[in-house]
Structure 1
Amino acid sequence: MDDYANLDYDRAQRCGFPEVIYGASKTPEQICAIAEQLLERHGVVVATRVSAQAADVVCGHIRDARWFERSGFLFADRRERPVEGDTLEEILSCANRAEGQVLVVCAGTSDMNIAEEAALTARLMGSRVQLLADVGVAGVHRTLAHVDDLRGAHAIVVVAGMEGALASLVAGLVDVPVVGVPTSVGYGASFGGVTALLSMLNSCAGGVSVVNIDNGFGAGQIAHRINCPPERFSGF
């Protein structure tokens, strides 16, 4: 493995969670070898953007690994009080290692792959997570119906493509940080998410920060760190 990976085993101590594998462009064998090493050292491993082909190899070697086709998210958890469940709903409702409250707000069904990545990232890192799906601004009543949920969160991730207006709407309703995730969903002039990115960067509502296009993992990690800062987080 030395010819393609130099694993950062100390990241959990520095940053609160072990190194996460970015699966895109890695071979199935490389992902599997790295995952086995991280799992042996830390008792938990997370990989993002894992293809179906790679997931077959990894899950064949790591029998308790779970892979989510929609987002390409893969994890195995052998820690004491592991995050358990086979579906997204079961994992988000698991009481183990669930602190505070992160809310992931998804504008449309087409954005759900990125929202799922954000939700699973924050959940595996130790946050309690709630996901609101299909509450975009085209039907603003759908967003406003969840004002109590929005105001009960410690950190909010807003996932939206098209014009990306949902981040500004949500930020105008709450007093907690909002992490905007522009997605590549949209027609021609959305420019693969650039329109949503620029819209979120130019939000007139205070408290909005923005990650890269389709970066659900980055948003989930930021929201977790806001929700569970080191002084009140019990550890990964």
Structure 2
Amino acid sequence: MTYLVHTAHAQLCALWAGCVGWTLTAVALGLIQWRVWQVSDREIITSGEAWVGLWRACFNSHSLVSPGFVATHCQYIGLTEAFTPPEIVAGQVLMLLSLLVGLCGNAGGVYALRNIYFGMKTSPIRLLCVITGGLSLLSAATSLIPLLWNVSSVVTNQTIRFPPEFKMPPAPDSQSVGFGIGVGVVGAVLMAVSGIVFCSYRLPVRSQLGALPTLRHDVYLERSAGSGTLTDMRGRDNPAFESHEQL
């Protein structure tokens, strides 16, 4: 059984990065601070700031509740609504797809490292790492598309024609990139790094496999060291046999 643990330290770190990146992608999907709108009319949006996410549009208001209290007013943004812009539709679909693909990629990474660390097989390890890396890269690309698309909409100050029940202004005075997009970009970068590291995994060359230590050999040497003697797999000479040879 070939010892390959020392060849997969970078992949173990990549699996950790992929799990963190997948978690950040899931967090970004639920955040409402994708696009931050600044408005001058504070009759309803008393804070002067509204947030547009993939699933909801929200703002804080004093006028919608009793005086002295603050309420967060949110409305759901549907996938098939006529007012929903294409960048938000793409975000709702592609971010969910990115989570599914990233989950499969991380599961493949766990299985590949299991084979490496427990010496299950050597033939499919390279293929497993390539599949894991490909899924991680696909997940990163799938989430980056809506993230960068929404950044472009913010930079060009694109508006959204919300229905009256949203109580949102027809256009913001200005808007900026929110915290949600930043979290999503960091998650996508970590997934991409994880994919690149897994794709770069290489098994030791076949000519060197015989020189690599084996688990059985390591255990034998440890037991021999514990007994205070240094031996190898060849064993010891038999003194009785040597005396018989001299006769």
- In the superposition, the TM-score normalised over structure 2's length comes to 0.20
Q: Relative contact order (alpha carbons < 8 A, sep ≥ 6): 1 or 2 greater?
A: 2
More helix by share: 2
- In the superposition, the TM-score normalised over structure 1's length comes to 0.20
Decide which structure has the larger Cα Rg and report it.
2
